Chains A and B, each alone.
Chain A
């Protein structure tokens, strides 16, 4: 180590030059990534925070707006309010569903049964399949007259709603599709968590006479809680960013019933080219994600046990 340079008198010079070379080597290793990272990731992150306080139009240029963007957002902009509400609605319903479904599926595919690997692959398939393509399929599935869901409901004598064009049902339809697409991801993480629980703990519980249900409550759930925490945090972050499905299936409609924050950022920034305002909305999105994540970290002590 270079730190020994001061004590060893004879070797004083060698480690120092070695350290110098290390700095040079480090620079060369870092350079290709660092240049790109600074220009295309770090600087845009900084710029986003500045841009939110400007009026920025691609043709007219920038002018200082102070807090005007934020004032407009929280006082007169009804679409923003709808987008914020819709995003929270989407998150509040889809996260619990996909977390529970992910856990149940993980427990099912954690069995030592023949061919279980095939089921794991199937459940993860929607997650890796192109979202735009799947959104188109689901758009068809949700068609009011010839769509799959209403045809099946029709067999049971139920007159299904016009899913994607109904102000009430468009959001649940979007949520159902998203849960279907995303639960496999949660399954993979839960499965890894389940497999890291040592068997001897279950054996010990059995010896103590714990029923299977007790073992689930007192061994599986507590030991899995760091995994569950991680899955919840990640799910909240990603559902706050929902975009593809909303753009393709409903384009935010009917009215603003499914306009999400990211869809609104896209519409403001790249359809009305009001980029300063879009940056301000993006900043609110970031703040919302940040606050929710911090809150979850604060509450984790109540229910997450680390071994």
Chain B
């Protein structure tokens, strides 16, 4: 109730006395939160409601809040004007590929950095860390030239592979592995387990939360990411839904109901993942933030 007290004190200083007791403060807090939640949700709710309106209703002045008639066929229309089914599949392949590649290879590398002794380990880790400081927009141009040389433009591997090997996953998992007591492995080592055996049977089963965090983070980030696929994809065969939505805007820029239907289609998967995996995502934000502390 710290904040309640502080608001109370501030009001008291101004000569405003709370009638009765502090029982009123939770109501004040709720009211503030409700107002903020309303403002936060308005654009998202607006997107969904507009997606169901007819074309004349969308153009009406003043705008209507609740659709006068519901037109769920807007979704079907958007779906036929542009191959959103294909775009969604492309997004799933791209994001799934990146997430799996990144999580698996990062876990292996992070184990080496956290547990194994080898020459140049600290120097190599420093190289990984160093690239974390370079904004992705700096590497986008050389990466594209590389993709062009490999003839990977407009392919799934061009979308997936250059994005799957960033230092972030290695950094995050190494921090987590360092927190697992060594004694657990020492016992297994004495019983003759190999390094890989330790990794597979001891570290991985204990790392569910960290792996889930990294996977959820990667999924939401790459589903949302625009710049790289915008550069690499140029045909319906590979375009992920975010880029598809952008192209759709270019063609049907004024048909707001269809545009909002398409936007809702692109958004639904991230909202579902967020609702079900929220705590891993929140954990990821605080872990990557406080990992070094």
Which residues of A are in contact with B by a Cβ distance under 8 Å? 2, 19, 21-23, 25-30, 32-34, 36-37, 39-45, 47-48, 51, 56, 58, 105, 107-113, 116, 119, 121-126, 128-134, 136-138, 140-141, 145-148, 151, 154, 180, 184-185, 188-189, 192, 202, 211-213, 215-216, 220, 226, 230, 234, 237, 240-241, 243-244, 247-248, 262, 265-266, 269-270, 275, 278-279, 282-283, 285-286, 289-290
Contacting pair A130 B242 (CB below 8 A): yes
Q: Offer 19 A-B interface pairs, CB within 8 angstroms, sorted by A.
A: A25-B194, A33-B106, A39-B165, A40-B162, A107-B3, A108-B29, A113-B30, A122-B41, A130-B263, A132-B246, A134-B47, A136-B245, A136-B249, A146-B59, A180-B39, A212-B9, A212-B10, A241-B135, A270-B230
- A165 to B: closest C-beta gap in Å: 14
In the bound complex, CA of A58 to CA of B153 (Å): 13
In the bound complex, CA of A281 to CA of B41 (Å): 37
Contacting pair A129 B135 (CB below 8 A): no
Known contacts A108-B3, A122-B37; 16 further A-B pairs (Cβ under 8 A): A19-B117, A32-B104, A47-B145, A125-B44, A128-B281, A130-B267, A132-B226, A137-B263, A138-B43, A140-B46, A141-B43, A212-B6, A212-B9, A275-B144, A282-B138, A282-B140
In the bound complex, CA of A190 to CA of B152 (Å): 42
Which of B6, B26, B162 counts the most chain A CB atoms within 10 A? Answer: B6
Contacting pair A215 B117 (CB below 8 A): no
- B141 to A: closest C-beta gap in Å: 5
Interface of chain B residues 153 through 194 with chain A (CB within 8 A): 161-162, 164-167, 170, 194
> Which of B78-86, B204-212, B270-278 participates in binding chain A?
B270-278
Contacting pair B146 A40 (CB below 8 A): yes
In the bound complex, CA of A21 to CA of B116 (Å): 10
**B117 neighbours in A (Cβ, 8 Å):** 2, 19, 22-23, 26
Looking at the complex, which one of A130, A240, A275 makes contact with B224 (CB distance below 8 Å)? A130
Contacting pair B139 A123 (CB below 8 A): no
**B1 neighbours in A (Cβ, 8 Å):** 111-112
**A19 neighbours in B (Cβ, 8 Å):** 117
In the bound complex, CA of A295 to CA of B164 (Å): 32
- B57 to A: closest C-beta gap in Å: 11
Interface of chain B residues 244 through 279 with chain A (CB within 8 A): 245-246, 249, 256, 259-260, 263-264, 266-267, 270-271, 274-275, 278
Interface of chain B residues 1 through 27 with chain A (CB within 8 A): 1-10, 13, 26
- B58 to A: closest C-beta gap in Å: 8
Contacting pair A148 B148 (CB below 8 A): no
**B281 neighbours in A (Cβ, 8 Å):** 124, 128
Looking at the complex, which one of B5, B42, B136 makes contact with A212 (CB distance below 8 Å)? B5
Question: DSSP majority for the B interface?
Answer: helix
Residue ID in chain B nearest A237 by CB atoms: B135
Which of A33, A122, A279 counts the most chain B CB atoms within 10 A? Answer: A33
Give the number of residues in B that approach A within 8 Å (Cβ atoms).
106
Looking at the complex, which one of B135, B220, B270, B290 makes contact with A192 (CB distance below 8 Å)? B290
Given A48-B139, A215-B6, A243-B226, are A137 and B260 neighbors across the interface (CB < 8 Å)? yes
- B249 to A: closest C-beta gap in Å: 6
Closest CB pairs A-B (n = 8): A36-B165, A212-B6, A133-B263, A47-B142, A212-B5, A33-B109, A44-B142, A33-B105
Looking at the complex, which one of A51, A105, A129, A290 makes contact with B270 (CB distance below 8 Å)? A129
In the bound complex, CA of A145 to CA of B143 (Å): 43
Contacting pair B195 A212 (CB below 8 A): no
Given A25-B196, A265-B137, are A33 and B108 neighbors across the interface (CB < 8 Å)? yes
Residue ID in chain B nearest A18 by CB atoms: B117
Residue ID in chain B nearest A112 by CB atoms: B1
**B224 neighbours in A (Cβ, 8 Å):** 128, 130-131
Residue ID in chain B nearest A101 by CB atoms: B36
- Is B112 an interface position by the 8 A CB rule? yes
**A122 neighbours in B (Cβ, 8 Å):** 37, 40-41
In the bound complex, CA of A216 to CA of B7 (Å): 11
**A33 neighbours in B (Cβ, 8 Å):** 105-106, 108-109, 165, 170
**A111 neighbours in B (Cβ, 8 Å):** 1, 3-4, 26, 29
In the bound complex, CA of A184 to CA of B39 (Å): 13
Given A128-B274, A188-B285, are A146 and B139 neighbors across the interface (CB < 8 Å)? no
Which of A19, A185, A188, A241 counts the most chain B CB atoms within 10 A? Answer: A188
